Amino acid sequence: MSGKLFLVPTPIGNLSDMTYRAVETLKSSDLILAEDTRNSGVLLKHFEISTPMRSYHAHNEHKVTDEIVEQLKQGKTYALISDAGSPGISDPGYLLAKACIENQIEIIALPGATAFVPALTVSGLTSNEFVFVGFLPVKKGRQTKLNELKEEKRTMIFYESPHKITRTLKDLTVFFGEDRKASLSREITKKFEETIRGTLIELHQISESRNLKGEMVLVVEGHREK
């Protein structure tokens, strides 16, 4: 009998966002697959979870996925967590989930913390239709991607790191236009949570003048015909 794979979201900042179901699932699993066992170790200790862990991240997932699938086929129950948020959303998870589906292993995804939903809902931009872009390519393919997106009519959601946000805002201003409306949320659920709204050029100027910290979610208005 095949086992199960649970995809378990973890808090993106505030530990109080951990659900009771997530804690119980991690406690009852045979093994926790963690993106970074050091980061996850802090979380598990806080919630008194003693389930053993194994590293599962972007640098080893291609090597160990088949082995993990074979263990699940033998009836094991594993839980997959990332450093923060929902596995598979700009984090490892897709490859293992796909392999489980191909091998008829049950996957259960728990609802929970993710950064882009609160950023979208507080942006003031249209949320009935949107496209999740995630991280833009750093070098190869970046301009091609931006050219594809500049005519996108739906609201767009980007993830970005603090040391790259100024460059990304500059690039978006060039490709999308200075007057395109946008919203930048950072440190979501944490003490210094902040959302800055304005045009792309205004957000770029703010980013240049301030040392913005924390993981960023940038929500950008879709293209409008003039």
Query: Which CATH number covers residue 206?
Result: 3.30.950.10
Asked if residue 158 belongs to a domain, the reply is yes
Sign of CA dihedral 104, 114, 55, 79: negative
Q: Which long-range contacts (CB under 8 A, 24 or more apart) does 142-149 make?
A: 142/171, 146/171, 146/172, 146/175, 146/176, 147/175, 149/175, 149/176
Residue 225 has pLDDT above 90, yes or no: no
Q: What is the mean pLDDT of residues 34-46?
A: 95
Same domain, 91 and 134: no
User: 117-134, pLDDT tens digit by residue?
Assistant: 999 999 999 999 999 999
Asked if residue 149 belongs to a domain, the reply is yes
What is the overall mean pLDDT for the chain? 96
Asked if residue 74 belongs to a domain, the reply is yes
Residue 1 has pLDDT above 80, yes or no: no
Work out how many domains the chain is built from and give that number.
Answer: 2
Asked if residue 226 belongs to a domain, the reply is no
Count CB atoms within 10 A of the CB of residue 211. 7
Percent of the chain with pLDDT over 90: 94
Q: What is the mean pLDDT of residues 9-21?
A: 96
Same domain, 79 and 168: no
Same domain, 87 and 129: no
Same domain, 72 and 101: yes
User: 170-197, pLDDT tens digit by residue?
Assistant: 999 999 999 999 999 999 999 999 999 9
Q: Are 149 and 200 in contact (CB under 8 A)?
A: no
d(CA 140, CA 88): 23
Same domain, 128 and 59: no
Residue 137 has pLDDT above 90, yes or no: yes
Given 75, 109, 143, which residue is the final one in a domain? 109
Given 109, 128, 145, which residue is the final one in a domain? 109
Same domain, 22 and 87: yes
Tokens, residue 53 = 């862990």
Residue 29 — pLDDT band, cuts 50, 70, 90? very high
What range defines the domain where residue 186 resides? 116-220
User: 103-118, pLDDT tens digit by residue?
Assistant: 999 999 999 999 999 9
Asked if residue 225 belongs to a domain, the reply is no
d(CA 212, CA 161): 10
Given 54, 83, 109, which residue is the final one in a domain? 109
Among candidate residues 192, 175, 176, 194, the one with its CA nearest the CA of residue 184: 194
Same domain, 127 and 71: no
